[in-house]
Structure formats: structure tokens, C-alpha cells
């Protein structure tokens, strides 16, 4: 494959490092990956400043972030299409809020990605119930001229989605059946990188009846700890250690507040720097979705008790937190081939050509 002359020196360096890394026992396969955050995972988008259409923050987002962000992600109540709709509304029911998001994401020209979940403790009881619900979601998006090409079968099943590993794997099979008919692709897993993630993942994989081409991970623990150990363990536990599959960081954020503990701008920026300059180069994910950019309705998120979290890049007054400049990629470079087992020592051995 021909390379731009500006990238030849860097490509040589990467190839040498990847070759050396591949000699290590258990080295993960090399793959093409993004070098920066290229997706937004933010339920609040339609409610920015109360109304996306009149939002000055939406204008700021268009001007500053659209050159970098190309995908948008929404975590949807799985049976939302069963609700009545009076049309898109940022403050409506689950269906109306989703319709508002589709409209606004389409206006930004972003590719929509949808993850299904339950916020109501009501769960799909059968394959037919789930498949009909997913079909309705895909139909709604197509009618809005915002066709969905990627479906996360069940959001974060080992945390927010609250499903057993075997049931979550079964749901992934259901989603795959729909996508085989509809031409979408399933993003399997969507695991939070908790300490017990690998054991959960192994049971999940045992329930699968297909070979996923894309796996999703939510590396909140890794970013907070500045360590890729759990992510690498999750990769290694994938079928064939993930060989030939894409890994997407379908949701991740750097905490300004975590579980009611104020961490502040400096720590948030430090964690964001690890995400951008440490984890992304090491893992080489295909896409990375940041959660979130700014709370809806100019809300100031609470940070006073258990369950209070805040990873927003902007305050309610539109002031950019320090992490925003870290996540922002001023001049994004093309994707490159990288191995997730590269170490700083190997990098030091490679030539430093530009």
C-alpha cells in the first residue's frame, strides 16, 4: 500500500516496533486504529442549552469538533419504539428523545451508532420480543434518513445493562440475526473493564453462536488507573485473542467527579492525557467514543454522593475544562498499524524518523 511521503519515516518506525513486539510471547495482533477520540457518546446532545436547534454550544461543537468527531452513539431503552410519539422532543419520552437525537445527529452529519439497554428494569423476555424491538429502532432511523450501520446488542451488560453473561451473549445472537437480515453490524461485548470483566467475558463468549467482527469495551477503570492491564486481559480472552476483529472503545470518559468524589480539572486532564497518549496508541481501537461533552439544559451535575459522576468536557456555562484541550486533536493524522503489546522500551529501540 502506498504511503504519503510525510508518513514514511513514522511508518518505518511503527513497522519495526510492531515486528519486535510480535516476537514477544502472546503478543496481540496488529491492526489499524484511530489515534484520537472520533466519536461522541452523549445522551444530552438534543438538550444542549435546552434545545439543540437554538444552542450556542451546538454551534461551538460544529465549529471546533466536527473535523474530528465523525460518529455519535446513543444508549436507548430497548423497547422505546413501543411508546407513543408526538414527534422529536429533547424532553419527551424515550422514543421522542431518541427521535430528537436522530434529527440532531443527522444535522451534524455524524454516523449514528445505537446501543440497547434497560433503564426501567424491564428486559426482553424472548428472541421475538427483542428482534421486533430492534427492527422497529432500525425502521425509525431509516425513516429519519439516519440509517444505523452499527448496533451494540446490549450496553455494558456487566454494569449498567445488568444482565447475566449467558443472557447477554444470547441477546448478542438475537441482534446478529436481525443485522444479518438488515445489513447492520453487531458490536459485541460492550464490557466495562471492571476487575471481574474477564470472568464475565469468558461466560459471555461461551454463549455466542457467531463470531463477532467488532468488540466494544468501556475502559473507565483503565483510564482512572492509568493502566492498560485489564484491557489487554480482555483482548486476550476474546476468541482467538481478538485476531482479525476490531476493538472499539464504545464509551469512555475522564472523571471530573467519580462516585461523589471531586477529582477536579487537573486530575481529569491527566486521565484524559493517559487516554489519548497512552491507552489509544497501545490498544489501537478502531473508534473511540467520549462520554460526554456537556450536560443538557445547562445543568450543573451534582458531585455530593454515591452514584454522582461527571466526565463532561465543558461546564454548564460552556467553559472548556482542561481535559477538552487534551481530547481535542488539532490536526488528526491518518490511522496507522499498531500492536497493543508495544512497550516504551521497544519504542526507544526504533528510529525516530519523522
Under DSSP, the state recorded for 153 is: S
Quick one: average pLDDT of 184-189? 98
Q: What is the pLDDT of residue 30?
A: 59
Q: Is the pLDDT of residue 13 over 50?
A: no
Q: Is the pLDDT of residue 24 over 90?
A: no
CATH code at position 157? 3.20.20.80
Asked whether the beta carbons of 189 and 215 are under 8 A apart, the reply is yes
Asked whether the beta carbons of 40 and 72 are under 8 A apart, the reply is yes
| SS3 label, residue 104 | helix
Q: What is the mean pLDDT of the chain?
A: 88
Q: Does 338 reside within a domain?
A: yes
Q: Does 19 reside within a domain?
A: no
Q: Does 120 reside within a domain?
A: yes
Q: Which long-range CB contacts under 8 A does 4-10 form with residues at least 24 apart?
A: 4/334, 6/354, 7/333, 7/334, 7/336, 8/353, 9/351, 9/353, 9/354, 10/336, 10/353, 10/354
104-128 per-position pLDDT tens digit: 999 999 999 999 999 999 999 999 9
Q: Does 147 reside within a domain?
A: yes
Of residues 240, 286, 346, the one with CA closest to residue 19:
346
Q: Does 81 reside within a domain?
A: yes
Of the pLDDT bands very low, low, confident and very high (cuts 50, 70, 90), residue 18 is very low
| SS3 label, residue 191 | strand
Q: Is the pLDDT of residue 28 over 50?
A: no
Euclidean distance between the first and the last CA atom of the chain, given in angstroms as a whole number: 19
Q: Does 14 reside within a domain?
A: no
Asked whether the beta carbons of 38 and 68 are under 8 A apart, the reply is yes
**pTM score, whole prediction:** 0.85
Q: Does 156 reside within a domain?
A: yes
Q: What is the pLDDT of residue 140?
A: 97
Q: Is the pLDDT of residue 12 over 80?
A: no
Of the pLDDT bands very low, low, confident and very high (cuts 50, 70, 90), residue 146 is very high
Domain residue limits at 323: 30-343
Give the total number of structural domains in the chain.
1
Residues 354 and 350: their CA atoms lie apart, in Å, by 12
Strands 111-117 and 150-152: what pairing? Answer: parallel
269-300 per-position pLDDT tens digit: 999 999 999 999 999 999 999 999 999 999 99
47-74 per-position pLDDT tens digit: 999 999 999 999 999 999 999 999 999 9
Torsion 282-149-128-93 (CA) sign: positive
Share of the chain above pLDDT 90, in %: 84
150-162 per-position pLDDT tens digit: 999 999 999 999 9
Q: Does 176 reside within a domain?
A: yes
Q: What is the pLDDT of residue 223?
A: 98
Q: Is the pLDDT of residue 40 over 80?
A: yes
Amino acid at each position: 500500500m502506498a504511503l504519503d511521503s510525510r508518513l514514511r519515516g513514522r511508518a518505518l518506525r511503527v513497522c519495526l516496533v510492531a515486528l519486535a513486539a510480535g516476537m514477544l510471547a502472546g503478543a496481540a495482533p496488529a491492526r489499524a486504529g484511530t489515534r484520537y477520540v472520533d466519536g461522541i457518546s452523549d445522551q444530552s446532545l438534543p438538550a444542549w442549552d435546552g434545545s439543540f436547534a437554538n444552542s450556542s454550544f451546538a454551534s461551538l461543537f460544529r465549529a471546533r469538533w466536527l473535523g474530528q468527531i465523525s460518529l455519535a452513539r446513543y444508549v436507548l431503552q430497548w423497547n422505546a419504539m413501543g411508546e407513543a410519539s408526538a414527534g422529536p422532543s429533547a424532553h419527551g419520552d424515550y422514543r421522542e428523545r431518541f427521535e430528537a437525537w436522530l434529527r440532531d445527529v443527522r444535522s451534524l452529519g455524524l454516523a449514528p451508532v445505537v446501543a440497547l439497554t434497560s433503564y426501567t428494569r424491564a428486559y426482553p423476555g424472548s428472541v421475538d420480543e427483542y428482534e421486533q424491538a430492534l427492527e422497529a429502532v432500525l425502521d425509525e432511523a431509516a425513516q429519519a434518513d439516519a440509517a444505523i450501520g452499527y448496533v451494540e446488542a446490549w450496553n455494558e451488560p456487566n454494569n449498567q445493562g445488568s444482565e447475566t453473561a449467558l443472557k447477554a451473549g444470547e441477546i448478542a445472537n438475537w441482534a446478529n440475526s436481525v443485522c444479518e437480515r438488515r445489513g447492520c453490524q453487531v458490536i459485541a461485548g460492550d464490557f466495562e473493564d471492571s476487575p471481574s470483566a474477564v470472568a464475565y467475558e469468558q461466560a459471555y463468549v461461551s454463549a455466542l453462536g457467531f463470531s463477532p467482527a467488532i468488540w466494544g469495551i468501556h475502559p473507565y477503570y483503565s483510564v482512572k488507573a492509568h493502566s492498560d492491564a485489564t484491557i489487554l486481559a480482555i483482548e486476550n480472552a476474546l476468541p482467538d485473542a481478538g485476531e482479525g476483529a476490531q476493538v472499539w472503545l464504545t464509551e469512555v470518559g475522564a472523571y471530573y467527579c467519580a462516585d461523589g468524589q471531586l477529582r477536579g480539572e487537573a486530575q481529569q486532564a491527566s486521565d484524559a492525557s493517559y487516554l489519548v497518549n497512552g491507552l489509544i496508541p497501545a490498544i489501537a481501537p478502531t473508534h473511540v467514543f467520549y462520554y460526554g461533552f456537556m450536560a443538557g439544559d445547562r445543568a450543573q451535575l451534582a458531585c455530593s454522593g454515591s452514584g454522582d459522576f461527571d466526565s463532561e468536557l465543558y461546564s454548564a456555562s460552556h467553559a472548556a475544562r482542561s481535559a477538552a484541550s487534551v481530547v481535542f486533536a488539532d490536526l488528526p493524522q491518518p490511522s496507522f498499524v499498531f500492536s497493543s503489546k508495544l512497550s516504551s522500551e521497544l519504542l526507544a529501540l526504533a528510529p525516530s524518523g519523522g
